[in-house]
Structure 1
Amino acid sequence: MAHSAAVIDWLLDSDPSIRWQVMRDLLDASPARWQAERAKVETEGWGARLLSHQDADGQWAGGAFIPAGFDPREWRERGQPWTATSFSLTQLREFGLDPSSNRARRTVELIGVHSHWDEGGQPFWEGEIEECINGRTVADGAYFDIDVSSIVDRLAGERLADGGWNCERINGSQRSSFASTINVLEGLLEYEKAAQGTPRSREARRSGEAYLLERRLFRRLGTGEPADERFLQFLHPNRWRYDVLRALDYFRASALLDGAAPDPRLSEAIDHVRSKRREDGTWLLDWSLPGREWFEVDDGPGKPSRWVTLKALRVLRWWGASGP
């Protein structure tokens, strides 16, 4: 790849949360080296900054899904807020906070005691009623060594007939959505990494993967047209939103866990990622979600994004090493 050394240097000249992943996924550094870099997430940069906003009871912004005292008008006027416990914990997982660290262990313990879902008052680690939320809760819980098996079993039973999930199922939806499905798949994959999964959870993950693969990660099954043009635009953090790069990063992780070759049905999405590489070897942040957040981790839409570039490079490296 042209300019690869310069791009790697640019990625390394960043936050520990990016550096350790570059070392592991792009440079094949020894586990001792990248784990030492990952340990800095707790005490330096974005990870330490996010931890500094944590409440004394282990939560963020005083709530599980929305901040305490939240006025719904803010959602309408400024967008969904991203500062409460659920999204903050997910971001710490994406940063790579060491789950065995004392700070991580204390955090998930306090959340288990003090945090309850806004929807029905359920304890945080028992999950909510909505599939997108529960998928991320499973991913976070499994990563941080919490028993989330009851949520996993519930999700496996909430699959729709087409093999995926839709967070509007409770309101009558009978068709899966790309976004709901990727949120659940990431949770099931993290659960398998941590606890090997169960026959039921593994079968559910396979059916969810088939849902996306049959649609080439972004096309409508009936017409072949893109289901949503924004699926082809890259954002970070994704929060609950879907794009093909997020899906490819998932399929990379899934294949590595399973020891499987990349599925040829990913090739069109791979070509799209290649097409969006800039001449200097980076990728842009195409858009970002509005709404309250603790701080930004990119320079803004329309500018080169280290997060997007990291994900794109590791997906293409994986595909190039073992793809069809």
Structure 2
Amino acid sequence: MDPAVTWLLDSDPAIRWQVMRDLLDAPEEEWRAERSRVETEGWGTRLLALEDPDGQWAGGSFVPKDFDWSTWETAGQPWTATTYALTQLRELGLDPTTERARRAVELVGASSRWDEGDQPFWKGEVEECINGRTVADGAYFGVDVAPVVERLVADRLPDGGWNCERARGSVRSSFDSTINVLEGLLEFERATGGTAASREARASGEEFLLERGLFRRLSTGEPADPDYLRFLYPSRWAYDVLRGLDHVRAVSVRTGTAPDPRLADAVEHVRSRRLPDGTWALDRELRGQVWFTLDDGVGRPSRWVTLRALRVLRWWDRETS
């Protein structure tokens, strides 16, 4: 076995079940059994233990209760409130059918309201990045988020993607906003099959990224942002080329479509960043308060980055060989 895979298996259930499914082709009953341990072991149970009695985390939807907004620039955005906790539980793989998950989702729907306009949590708010993650989390955990999907479809920009600054006049899509919406639309499709409009919107958003090779400016071909070539996890709202590739891989697995040749440069960039020991490093982190860390820090081998990189390369090499 690849030593990097062995290293991944010597980890949290949230990593192991994905290794079993995506890298080892384990039978579904085996990886689902491993996934069920997310609720009772490791990062998953640790995050669930931090839930407030009313179902929220840190007493707020987007930021903690009584958050001092003057600290945003100096200390960074906090990542401890409800929206980011739910996204993390989804990415860890918490089984959405468990009583614990259903109870949390119901309590959030009853108790949590958005800071922006006091809307109920599962109704979404005005910002595309937030609504994209709300759709992803809601669809995964069995909430009817169709009205939020309709809003996202309507908020699409003429170039095919999304920008969370649209309400303030932006007319160009951003990589960051677009990937958040795309992941939400894909999760909505997994849960419901999607609608003709949501599937078309997802395809147009993916075309926005593909036209740019997942990281380039359309005008010059240069990297749109140097950070897009640096790997991070948790991603929160932020884009990197590996996040983009992992999304396209997930779509390909779901739909049976072949890899697009325009991904080649992005794939080779990922391949080139592999360390001599077969792992990939965490290149950056987003500033801000967290409940606990999921890796050993910037510059160190990252299980989350390595998992994503290995499954992207495995998919690409299988489908293009």
Q: Common fold, TM-score beyond 0.5?
A: yes
Amino acid at match of 2:84: F
**Number of the residue aligned with 1:5:** 2
Letter matched to residue 115 of structure 1: S
- Where 2:316 maps in the other structure, the secondary structure is helix
- Matched length: 321
Q: Which amino acid aligns with 1:285?
A: L
Q: CA deviation at 1:198?
A: 0.4
Q: Aligned to 2:21, which of 20, 24, 42?
A: 24
Query: Unpaired runs of 5+ in structure 2?
Result: none
TM-score relative to the length of structure 2:
0.99
CA distance in 2, matches of 1:212, 1:129: 23
- Which residue identity does 1:42 align to in structure 2? E
CA offsets 1:201-222 (integer angstroms, 9 cap, x no match): 0110010000000000010001
Looking at structure 2, the residues matched to 248 and 7 of structure 1 have their Cα atoms a distance apart, in angstroms, of 20
* Whole-Å separation in 2 of the counterparts to 1:173 and 1:114: 33
Per-residue displacement from partner, 1:68-125 (whole Å, max 9, x unpaired)? 0100122121100000000000000000000001100001000000000000000000
Alignment partners' CA distance in 2, 1:19 and 1:73 = 40
- Aligned-partner Cα distance in 2 for 1:246–1:323: 20
Q: 1:68 aligns with which of 59, 62, 65?
A: 65
Aligned equivalent of 2:186: 189
In structure 2, give the amino acid aligned to 1:283. W
Runs of 4+ more than 3 Å apart: none
Paired position in structure 1 for 2:234 = 237
Q: Which residue of 1 aligns with 2:208?
A: 211
Cα deviation for residue 323 of structure 1 reads 2.5
Equivalent in the alignment of 1:79: 76
1:201 alignment counterpart: 198
2:137 corresponds to: 140
User: Any stretches of 5+ residues in structure 1 without a counterpart?
Assistant: none
Residue 160 of structure 1 aligns with which residue? 157
State the distance in 2 between where 1:8 and 1:186 align: 26
How big is the shift at 1:54? 0.3
Which TM-score applies when normalising by structure 1?
0.98
Residue type at the aligned position of 1:82: W
Identify the residue that residue 96 of structure 2 maps to in structure 1.
99
Q: Secondary structure at the match of 1:290?
A: coil
Question: Which SS does the other structure have where 2:2 is aligned?
Answer: helix
Candidates 269, 273, 277, aligned match of 1:276: 273
Alignment of 1:85-124 (within 5 A): 85-124=82-121
How many percent identity over aligned positions? 66
Which of 33, 47, 67 is 2:44 aligned to? 47
**In the alignment, what sits opposite 1:307?**
304
Letter in 1 for 2:191: A
C-alpha RMSD over aligned residues: 0.7
Aligned position for 1:149:
146
- Separation in 2, partners of 1:294, 1:74: 18
Q: Which amino acid aligns with 1:142?
A: A
Q: Output the CA distance in 1 between the equivalents of 2:250 and 2:17.
A: 16
- What's 2:262 paired with? 265
Letter in 2 for 1:6: P
Identify the residue that residue 174 of structure 2 maps to in structure 1: 177
Secondary structure at the counterpart of residue 272 of structure 1? helix
Deviation per residue, 1:178-223 (Å, 9 max, x gap): 0000000000000001100000001100100000000000100011
